[in-house]
A and B are shown apart, each in its own frame.
Chain A
Amino acid sequence: MNVLDIRGLSKKFGDFIAVDNMSLTVGEGEIFGFLGSNGAGKSTTINLVASLLRPSSGEINILDKNIAKHSRFAKMNLGIVPQDLAIYEDMTAFENVKFFAGLYGLRGEELKERTEEALKFVGLEDKAKSFPKNFSGGMKRRLNIACAIAHRPKLIIMDEPTVGIDPQSRIYILASVRKLNEMGCTIIYTSHYMEEVEEICSRIAIIDHGKIIADGTKEQLIATITDLKDIRIELKRGEPDLALSLKNIPGVRDVSVEDNMLRISSDMAVDNLSQILKVLIDSGADIRSVEEQEPNLETVFLTLTGRNLRD
């Protein structure tokens, strides 16, 4: 069963096309990453899934039910952590979570229990009676998450939940994303921080100008642009004669020597670093440093779109 199924989705604002014929499925238990620069269409897509915007064309299904036809069902199964904080500063943390959970139809004892549970989950149980205006940015973010998860949705969408917060809160939030996932939630995570997406997402879609230009696991995405890795070995002195014997090692495609720097281009799939080092040591070379560079998602994005993620 697909938790989210988007087919031919488009959203136009006048002449401007924010989402362009997008199709996408997210399976149960995935942490799905949306990676794109600012203005690529991530937030518009999320607002469409949350029914905050009406699509110009295309359809969206949550748990195999069309959100336009089954809007109540869709809302009950969807938790959204918006990019801009959605909390009331003049209500206590507890009241905030209770208010949002109440909107989903929870009542009485159940409402109270779920509220406490959500606050506990984000580590704010001892701040239940405090007002968010005195909270740090990170704490406000966590409260924001608590508001979105109290009704135990199947699908949680987090729109840039780590923008502008301290590293500690960031680590906490990333950990709670994993924990939510382990508890059976499917998560869609948008960010323009490549490292975060690389770290926690099981599948990633690169989105640009409202289109998904590539999707898959990190490894699959990298494989779309290259199957080579770069190994740089700094030696005490240049050994141009080594190049030939290195080229015989399986996986090695190309070797170049510049002064005392050895650059080896090798198949990513072949694990041959120890063999390379052995050849070097056997020939008496004096190794100063070894660096293995695999392309990352930033490189993928740059290669495919010609721009940096943070442009």
Chain B
Amino acid sequence: MRPALWLAAGALGLGLSPSAEATTTLKLVEVITSPERTETLKSIVKTFEDANPDVRVEITSLPWGPSFEKLATMVAAGDTPDVVEMPDVWLALYANNAALESLEPYLKTWPHTGELNQRTLQLGRVVRNTAYMLPFGFYLRALYYNKKLFAAAGVSAPPRTLDEFVAVSKKVSSLPGKYGYCLRGGAGGVNAWMMFGALANGSDVFFKTDGSSTFTDAGWIKGFATLADIYKSRLAPKDSVNWGYNDVIAGFYSGTCAMIENDPDALIAIAERMKPDEYGIAPWIKGPSGKSFPTIGYTGWSMFASSKHKELAWKLIATLDGVPGNLVWNRRIGALPIYTTAAKDPLYADPRLKGWFDELNDPDVVPMVMPVDLRVWALFASSIVPRTSQSLLLGQLTAPEMAQQWAQVMTKAKQTQK
């Protein structure tokens, strides 16, 4: 059915769009593209189009890998959409350059604003305390573990503390060709470094009151060193120094390494490749202070200030982030809900999601928001961290030296911003 449709569209010629006299076209761009997800997006958008018959939404799906540079190029050249999917890591870049429209006036009159849980608005307002994006869901880290490997290594239960984590890793790594931890040494590994650092530090405070970074505190350094030691003692595959998202997931479901810390959306890939009794999900480990600091990330919808149809764009965002659109969306993409009532929704009664809801309900679990309000964060996470942490893993840098370099970048950014 589909190829015929595309061939027909192609046969009509290039760039011909169905013309309608009074049609307004809204441009929507998604960046964490995946074929099944695009289908869900299209169906939610269709409910919007049905409710607004003279509006058409043109969806552009950027390939996920180069999506950052692609969107940046488009925006820099003036090819801006009306509504865009905005990851937390990019928010500061676009919001601080006056590219995004503030959603505050719309939120004031939106009926669903009161039903959003506290975190939603708090995180959407990270930049200058203004809602430049409305999050659609949260990504919280939890511990995935391989039950088969655990059984083979004689481990009965998932680790609950940092010491147990290292001990379990050692046991699994003693199996030939197997490793305890799937380390993400390449792009996107910053979350793990922050998590281990905060665990040892007992606190997730990133900056002192004068704006200088806390990374050089002994606690953070000890956490960084612990993670580095896990790699250096071969508790993670040697290859993992280069591993990105897809590599760690593949490492997990291929049974190469037994533990991985990741968000609920990784469940989609893992559930497809592993049987339900082969893996389990537990809350993230606690540190010596008795507290756990899994990172919490979020993605949402933003409106570009250059949009010529702001009211309509808001209506689109409201549909995507409203009820039931948002629930359908989160069900597909595997994020945690933004609505306080959603926890009772049957969707979230899935036993596999128990690990995350346990985390959210545990007072000793402090979801850690990374300093995404800093404009330098995107560069820090995508380039500085992989480069320096790889040097640390390979023994070219010591943990204090790496912490020092990170602190320099963070302090400068914090003190010069705003």
Whether A and B are associated in the same complex: the answer reads: no
Q: A interface vs B, CB < 8 Å?
A: none
Q: B interface vs A, CB < 8 Å?
A: none
